[in-house]
Amino acid sequence: MALERPKSLRELALEHLRKSIVSGNLKMGQTLSERSISEELGVSKSPVREALAQLRDEGLVSIEPQKGARVFSLSESEVAQICDFRQAIETAAFELALKRSPNALADDMARVVSEMKSARQAGNERRYLELDTEFHHLIFFHAGNDYLTSSYTRYVGKIAALRTHLAKLPQHTELSYEEHVGLAKAVRKGDMSVIRDLLSQHIDRTRQAYESAAIILEEGIGSS
């Protein structure tokens, strides 16, 4: 059995910052100080700087000369592009997953939906949001296409962070849960036509929620 390689300081800083942004502990548009992060984590500035550069590539951080680093913020145009991206790539991944691994996909989605229900009943919003991200990741895992997966993974942190901020909107989580239940049932039946319609509805509702919550998103309200 191979021993797990210890994480580097860069990886530890990256994991800490990514988790803080996705969870909402770091608000959208918030200034990030290399010195403060270094002191908090007990590391030098170098691994923090490298972690911030990686998060910039993932779209979670913006870095400007003379101004430093900030947590990402969004314009309506960027929101629309994210939703267009998700619609295209998740539909393509669904089609491949249903051809290559339909039963395993259905089983995994049923499991995650069951866990989502338990998280909701327990009032564990953070766990629910983690499961929401896992649900969509399953599409790519079972599609078995590394290029689709890497394209999605590049932006999965930003998508997850947006879920966190939208979770405070009235009925957002309830409607999201119902849509995931519907998608899981459609996968079990192997009905791609229904999946396309439900996925479109799911992402379009999210698009509308982004637009209606633009002020909330910009101010970074809604952290959990």
Per-residue pLDDT tens, the chain, 224 aa: give them.
555 566 788 999 999 999 999 988 998 889 999 999 999 999 999 999 999 999 998 889 999 887 889 999 877 788 889 999 999 999 999 999 999 999 999 999 999 999 999 999 999 999 999 999 999 999 999 999 999 999 999 899 889 988 887 877 778 889 999 999 999 999 999 999 999 999 999 998 878 877 766 544 444 434 43
- Max intra-chain CA distance, the chain: 55
Neighbours of 168 (CB within 10 A): 16
| DSSP string across 6-72 | PPPHHHHHHHHHHHHHHHTSSPTT-EE-HHHHHHHHT--HHHHHHHHHHHHHTTSEEEETTTEEEE-
Picking from 29, 44, 71, the residue at the C-terminal end of a domain is 71
Indicate the DSSP class of residue 113: H
Is the same domain home to 88 and 49? no
Report yes or no on 1 lying in a domain.
no
Is the same domain home to 23 and 93? no
Picking from 52, 71, 90, the residue at the C-terminal end of a domain is 71
Is the same domain home to 98 and 18? no
Beta bridge partners of 64: 68
User: Among 12, 57, 53, 11, which residue's Cα sits nearest to residue 32?
Assistant: 53
Is the same domain home to 113 and 57? no
CATH number, residue 31: 1.10.10.10
pTM value is 0.83
Look at the chain and report how many structural domains it folds into: 2
